[in-house]
A and B are shown apart, each in its own frame.
Chain A
Amino acid sequence: MAQNRGRAARQEVMDAPAMARTIARMAAEILERDGDGVMLVGIHTRGVPLADRLARSLEEVTGHKVSVGRLDITLYRDDVGPWRPAHQQPVLKRTVLPASIDDHVIYLVDDVLFTGRTVRAALDTLIDYGRPQAVRLAVLVDRGHRELPVAADVVGKNIATTRSEDVQVRLSEVDGEDGVWIGREVGNAG
């Protein structure tokens, strides 16, 4: 087969209609658990459109506006700083929270839960903005291989993977298409 090197066979594990159903189910779980007074906070990059979609789904059911924010965790990462071997600093993005997070139930939203390091950084970032009543975690895909004691409260799909496999979540807002794929190449989904 004339395939590009490193572009090994990838397998689709969630198509666009399945993703829409999954997001609707996740919204229903959030509603059942905490009601419609929650604040959804997407983690850059793909957590941001996912939080928007969850909010739309919640609004359709309840008819109420749901607050949505976005979080940039770059300055809190554990792999950024002068003690690391020379590397390129990640580009900073904007953190926007629609209101004070004090006494709100916050749902952190991300595409893939892997090592748990992103979530650790997100918790540290969030807590510098105030004292939420509770922080929960909603992810589209949990692929296992945690390096920190982190668990998601709402999971779209659990996918069994090996460490070297690459889980790719693609969203139309960022990538032009919806779907989840698993490939053999080593990726950076975290």
Chain B
Amino acid sequence: MPVEAAAALAAKDVVGIQRLSPGEIQLILNTAEELLEVARRPIKKVPALRGSTVINLFMEPSTRTRFSFEVAEKRLSADTLNFSASGSSVSKGETLFDTARNLMAMAPDFIIIRHPHSGAPHRLAEVVPASIVNAGDGINEHPTQALLDAFTMCQHFGGLEGLKVVIAGDIRHSRVARSNAFLLGKMGAEVRFVAPASLLPLDVEELGVIPFVRLEPALEGADVVMMLRIQLERQKKLNFPSMREYYDFFALTPERLALAAERAIVMHPGPMNRGVEIDSRVADGPRSVILEQVTNGVAIRMAILYLLAGGRSEAASDS
């Protein structure tokens, strides 16, 4: 049974899937579906956000997500400012709040933030009037990635309820895995986490997912196989013997993919490490939807900006 879409987003911000209701998630997915069409027009731009200002505040390296937000902002006719940690006053010791207060003096309507510390977007949302969109915070959440993943699954299967989704890789350090677990749980899908025991999160039971320490049994009947990279920058030492051994036990090869459902799709949020978590024959194979994910990411980010531009729903019902 499909979830009924909410009439509007309740908060001024999108900081995590945890704070979104199933109806709000459905509203974002429905809106993205209609916005996908803008990319196919001869003029790939609509005036919906003209005159509004978006600051892209990226305190951690990002290519895909930053470009995706920037394309989304430009297709909606917003003015964009890019701010990255290197070469800014942040590298001179300024705190996040001082940076934010200075940015607010430029009266932005939206701040898109990626930050190495979990919870930074949530704190920022409390102190500034602009709408905050979390583009990834530490090892906590990456809500727009989970939404674009869900959108891609909906395109292939018509809905999320009852889907069996395998998420395999460095789960412990993955905000993508967490946001996906929250979202898929809320929408009625089954989530299976696969990782060496040292890379499974400690709260795996509370997330409502089924943990596996081997890939093969988890793949049994899976509709979606999502592979994650090993996040070397978030661990001081390797949590398993070697990359080669990781490939032998945990990489998605054509032989392993054959264990999944016949209709299964292969996803990866990027960046991919070919020959570590995913075999090139799978990454470039017919079941891979990795590039569709990138296209869909723009529509999801446009949908969030469009919906947030309407303000809060309780304020709307007052008027």
Interface presence of A75 (CB below 8 A) = yes
Interface residues of B in 267-319 (CB under 8 A from A): 306-307, 309-313, 315-317, 319
Q: Which of A81, A86, A94, A129 contacts B319 (CB 8 A)?
A: A86
Contact B309 A86 (CB under 8 A): no
| B252 interface contact, C-beta 8 A | no
Q: Cβ of B309 and Cβ of A81 under 8 Å apart?
A: yes
Which of A92, A128, A129 meets B31, CB within 8 Å? Answer: A92
Residue A124 lies at the interface, judged by CB distance under 8 Å to chain B: yes
- CB atoms of A83 and B52 under 8 A apart: yes
Distance to closest chain A CB from B20 (angstroms): 16
Kindly state the separation between the CA atoms of A75 and B47 in the bound complex, as whole angstroms.
Answer: 6
Interface residues of A, dominant DSSP: loop
* A-chain residues with CB within 8 Å of residue B76 when the two chains form the complex: 75
Which residues on the A side are within 8 Å of B210 (C-beta)? none
Question: Once bound together, how far apart are the Cα atoms of A86 and B38, in whole Å?
Answer: 25
Q: In the complex, which of the residues B34, B315, B316, B317 has the most CB atoms of chain A within 10 Å of its own CB atom?
A: B34
| Residue of B31, B38, B47 with most chain A CB atoms under a 10 A cut-off | B47
Cβ-defined partner of B49 (8 Å) among A74, A82, A94:
A82
**Shortest beta-carbon distance from A16 to chain B in Å:** 32
Q: Does B236 interact with chain A (Cβ within 8 Å)?
A: no
Complex CA gap A130/B42 in Å reads: 7
In the bound assembly, the distance between CA atoms of A164 and B49 in angstroms comes to 30
Given contacts A87-B310, A129-B41, A130-B42, contact A76 B47 (CB under 8 A): yes
A 54-73 binary contact with B (CB < 8 Å = 1; else 0) = 00000000000000000010
CB of A85 within 8 Å of the partner chain: yes
Q: How far is the CA of A59 from the CA of B35 in the complex (A)?
A: 33
- Nearest neighbor of A78 in chain B, beta-carbon distance: B47
Is B203 an interface position by the 8 A CB rule? no
Q: Nearest CB to that of B303 among chain A residues?
A: A92
CB-nearest residue of chain A to B314: A86
Contact across chains for A92 and B51 when beta carbons are under 8 A apart: no
Contact at A86–B316, with CB atoms within 8 Å? Answer: yes
Q: Do residues A92 and B35 form an inter-chain contact, with CB atoms below 8 A?
A: yes
CA distance A72 to B48 in the complex (A): 13
**Interface contact B51-A83, CB-CB below 8 Å:** yes
Candidate in A74, A92, A128 with the most chain B CB atoms within 10 angstroms:
A92
B41 touches A128 (CB 8 A): yes
Binary per-residue interface labels of chain A (101-129) against chain B in the complex, 1 for a CB within 8 Å, 0 otherwise: 00000000000000000000000100011
Contact call A86/B43, Cβ cutoff below 8 A: no
Q: Is B8 an interface residue (CB 8 A)?
A: yes
* Contact residues in A for B34 (Cβ distance below 8 Å): 72, 92-94
CB-based contact A94/B37 at 8 Å: yes
Which residues on A sit within 8 Å (CB–CB) of B43? 128-129
Instruction: Check: A188 CB closer than 8 A to any chain B CB.
Output: no
Cα–Cα distance between A72 and B42 once the two chains are bound (Å): 16
Please state if B311 and A75 are interface contacts (CB–CB under 8 Å): no
CB proximity of B223 to chain A, nearest CB, Å:
27
B42, B49, B307, B319: which contacts A85 (Cβ < 8 A)?
B319
In contact, B48 and A86 (Cβ under 8 angstroms): no
Beyond contacts A72-B34, A87-B315: 20 other A-B pairs, Cβ-Cβ < 8 A, are A75-B38, A75-B46, A76-B46, A80-B48, A80-B310, A81-B51, A82-B309, A84-B311, A85-B311, A86-B315, A87-B310, A88-B310, A88-B316, A89-B309, A91-B31, A92-B30, A92-B34, A94-B34, A128-B46, A129-B42
Q: List chain A positions with a Cβ less than 8 A from chain B.
A: 72, 74-76, 80-89, 91-95, 124, 128-130
Give residues in B with beta carbon < 8 Å to A. 7-8, 30-31, 34-35, 37-38, 41-43, 45-52, 76, 109, 306-307, 309-313, 315-317, 319
